[in-house]
A and B are shown apart, each in its own frame.
Chain A
Amino acid sequence: MENHGKNSGTAPEKAKEITVGFGGAAGDGLDKSGNTLATVINRLGLYAISYNSYQSLIRGGHTFLRLRISQRKEKCFGDHLNVLLAMNQDSIERHAPEVNPGGVVIFNSDKISCDPSLLQENVHAIALPFKEVTEGIGKLMPIMQNTMALGALLYLANLAFETLHEVLADIFKHKGEEVIEQNVKVAQGGFDYAEQHFESAKISIPWDFTRIAKPFFSGNAAMAMGAVAGGLKFYSAYPMSPASNILHWLVANSEKCSVLVKQAEDEIAVVNLAIGAGHAGVRSMCATSGGGFALMTEAIGEAAMLETPVVIINVQRGGPSTGLPTKTEQGDLNQAMGASQGDFPRVIMAPKSVTDCYHMAGEALNIAEQFQLPVIILSDLLLGENYETIAPDSWSHDVEIKRGELIREVPEIMENNGGFKRYKFTPSGVSPRPVIGSEGMVYVAASDDHDEDGVLISDVFTNPAIRRKINEKRMRKMDGVVKELEPPKLEGPEDSEVTLISWGSTWGVIQEALEQLQDEGITANQLNFKYLFPLHVKEALEILDKCKTTIVVEVNASGQFARHLRAETGFSCTDTILKYDGEPFEPRLITNRVMGILNKEPLDLRVTEKEAREIGYHYIRVHLRDKLRPAQIVHVTKNGYGEPVWVLKLVDRENGEAKGQLTVGMDTGSTYKWDPLN
């Protein structure tokens, strides 16, 4: 498991690390370059963790992929940028100013330029003339500028070139020796050019290459593989971002893993297929995102009523409605809690990391079968679609499979003159469940309420007493579930000033924020909930009652978990830190707001200067054909708009000539006016 952070009283040792950003347009090959670099890193024995902000905030169709490379396993993608590989001019404009002192900006100087005024102090512009660097190699595809840049990066980041050589040889193996040689030459060209011209810019990190290769997984792939190890036999899905990669992984490995994968006509079919398969006696699972989950909800109650095991994954994205298909959020807790009519037992869990996705899939399949109920996993885009290096021995093929009371043979003691009671009222609420097709245990599973034998009590034979007892029988399962699941634990020093409370994927970024807070002289710990429903009320209260300042950190607008925690335990937290702009938390943001809360600073929701720039870019893209860029941004209080405003001076992107100004409200964020010059 992930146990690399030090949370003792002493300051943790800062790891050797570097964060590389790949900026460009879709089609610039960022993913491939990122993957190549990640493979190099993984083979060298280092760790990588990525965050791909696709459909970037800034300019349509543009992508920014961040890859954090470290000697140790990091738990989030951090808040630094040391190297920018810019594939186009936009990326320079947008991201070069973010590169930290001591860093570098690498680009093809035949195509783009880097205005030194964009750079922070002690940031080096690494201009690589593609034609000159690759002279004599032959005719090259434009995309090979990336390979040159990678070569230069390897020199500048003090990484081993021969490993890149090996990786390129593997990638282009199917294209033959000639292509491999060409790629290696281009990479070598970039490496050599950087060595000759930019030696002073070298970031000399003394890496320790263990050269123990490690796997590189996204949460979605981890969840898929974990489910297979946990006995998955049937998977159904309808394509929906950001859950589709689970489908793709399982389709690609379906035969090898003996898992039947079925794409269906809609999510209603998807979940009912999974319920049908689960009912027949195989481990079944399906996945979707919020909108698809909404379509599934009626059937979630059906699964509970039929007492059929099924696992439903919701890889959350920004809502409501179609919302933000390519952006992350933890906005579906309320939906999962409230999915389907009536009261029924359900389990809701949320993985805290990519590594955890693997374990949780198998665990969910176990809980579903042991307790014969629907289990909902709330993952999210951040975990689902982003990749990270998996620490050795984090996973095993040997996953414990607990099938509960699934039977194939008639129980020795039969009741009612040899009849089989499928829904026998038991102390645990769990009744023996035959694999469909087993002899002697024929029964009807009905979505109408029913008695122990499965006979309906909804119509001709209504019966309040039986209704009460079967309702209680079903709900009793929750007592067993809560005992089966591990209660939440405090991570970090017990008597801290601040306790950060989280659920699911924010665990990693908070662990890093704890380190930053410690550097700021604030002791802080984390209470992460993986199991949201049923909640470990007693254990949670024992911890929370001893905490000082309690802050719930979550990626939604209303503090859904803070409310859930209060509803379940009666415990009201001191404050919340919420993010709902589509982008995941960075540790510094949490650290700063924690300090703000401790200093009793009110929450400031005004548009920041950085956000004003983003709003400006949006206007430029939609209304000004991408021809301008924001230059100076000034804050004006007296303006006639009834609120303070940001005034953005827009200039020509090519020559910097002033073109006009854009007025953006600081409170409302409204774009009030575009005043063109002339």
Chain B
Amino acid sequence: MSTVLTPAKEKSKTRKAVVDPDWCAGCGDFGVLKSLKSATTDNGVKPHELLLVSGIGCSSNLPGFFYSYAVHSLHGRALPVATGAKLANHNMKVVITGGDGDGYGIGVGHFIHAMRRNLDLTYIVMDNEIYGLTTGQASPTTAEGHKTKTTPRGNVEKPINPLALALTAGATFVARGFSAQPAQLTSLIEQAMAHKGFALIDVFSPCVTYNKLNTYSWFKERVYKLEDEEPDRDLTDFSAAMTKAMEFDSRIPIGLIYRIEKPTYEDTEPVLLKGPLVDQSLGIKKELFDQLLAVTM
């Protein structure tokens, strides 16, 4: 294989990585990658100032196709890795990308706890309502009745509602995008990255190979843009946000559902008042050492 890289300068502009995406033609994740590139180049975040963290799944391969620092971690563990990295260097912009299986299935515990901490993280979930990389098993967001490889008689489990879950868990920015609406998605990513606190963007990102139910046309028939239909919504109204989050039928809202300002975890951690951990000095001074021994004497 060729390992000749594009010169660094060039990549800074395009965010194009050494390898091209290996997603199926027509995969919704292309749209998310494109919007992420636009959002980061538009708002002037330099490649070395951004850390992308993902888990495992088709969508979790995204960092390999993007030019920035990145960790492609374990299945379901992107959020704790991202949290550790953010706390170690809170000057970095940290964006997590992954899928519904990774985030709402195996990683759902971390999902809830990351939100209640209100760390300054942006979490983009490419939600295709199916397990794609493992060839079409039911996922936590697979619709009731949907026949998949593992639900041949139709799914009997109720799907997770990620937006409602995020609201109750304490996320301070909750949005939904659609990969076929790139301008809105780019704007949502920009706003999420600018938001101080935990931002979730659940993105409908159709799997053209394994999900023949939730297709582009299925979504197009249902989605409507909140900013168009309800331009004067109060984004800080929790109950109104909850109502929008629960709207998942013949009509499905996309756009920003909820946003409030709250101190971030980093703001309230006294050790970080002295600056990012990576820049702090190491070790212990003699005076403190003696003091720590003396309290036991």
**A→B interface (CB under 8 Å):** 39, 42-43, 213-217, 221, 225, 228-231, 233-234, 236, 253-260, 262, 264-266, 268-270, 272-284, 298-299, 302, 306, 390, 395-399, 401, 416-419, 435-448, 451-453, 455-456, 459-461, 463
Contacts and interface: CB of A to CB of B under 8 A. Distances in A.
B18 interface: yes
Contact of B71 (A39, A260, A276, A459): A276
A445 B72 contact: yes
A461 B61 CA distance: 14
B271 A277 contact: no
Given A282-B88, A436-B88, A452-B3, 14 more contacts: A214-B297, A228-B284, A233-B88, A233-B277, A268-B110, A273-B87, A274-B84, A277-B87, A279-B84, A280-B89, A302-B77, A439-B46, A446-B64, A453-B3
24 contacts: A215-B297, A228-B283, A231-B283, A234-B88, A234-B277, A258-B281, A260-B87, A272-B73, A276-B88, A280-B51, A280-B88, A298-B74, A299-B77, A395-B293, A416-B3, A416-B4, A417-B4, A436-B89, A442-B67, A442-B68, A446-B72, A447-B73, A447-B74, A452-B3
Interface string B138-159: 0000000000000000000000
Nearest to B8: A418
Nearest to A459: B22
Contacts of B18: 419, 453, 455
B19 interface: yes
Contacts, number: 238
B3 A281 contact: no
Contact of B283 (A262, A397, A460): A397
Contacts of A233: 88, 277-278, 280, 282
Contacts of B292: 225, 253, 256
Nearest to B274: A258
Contacts of A395: 293
Contact of B19 (A256, A417, A443, A455): A455
A37 B283 CA distance: 32
A276 B72 contact: no
Contact of B84 (A42, A275, A444, A446): A275
A423 B34 CA distance: 28
Given A277-B277, A437-B92, A269 B7 contact: no
Nearest to A254: B271
A416 B4 CA distance: 6
Contacts of B294: 215
A282 B51 CA distance: 15
B110 A269 contact: yes
A519 B223 CA distance: 87
A264 B80 contact: yes
Contact of B83 (A216, A259, A276, A451): A276
A453 B274 CA distance: 34
Contacts of B56: 447
B25 to A, nearest CB: 14
Contacts of A278: 84, 88
A262 to B, nearest CB: 7
A627 to B, nearest CB: 42
Nearest to B21: A460
Contact of B271 (A255, A269, A444): A255
Nearest to B89: A280
Nearest to B73: A447
B49 interface: yes
Contacts of B109: 265-266, 268-269
Contacts of B49: 437
Contacts of B4: 416-417
Given A397-B286, A441-B48, A436 B69 contact: yes
Given A258-B274, A436-B51, A279 B283 contact: no
Interface in B1-30: 1, 3-8, 17-19, 22
A268 B67 CA distance: 28
A454 B38 CA distance: 24
A419 B293 CA distance: 49
A265 B113 contact: yes
Contacts of A253: 292
Contacts of A444: 17, 63-64, 69-72
Contact of A443 (B69, B113, B269): B69
Contacts of B3: 416, 451-453, 455
Given A455-B64, A459-B22, A257 B288 contact: yes
Interface string B41-66: 00000111101010010000101100
A217 B297 CA distance: 10
B226 interface: no
Which of B7, B48, B69: most chain A Cβ within 10 A?
Answer: B69
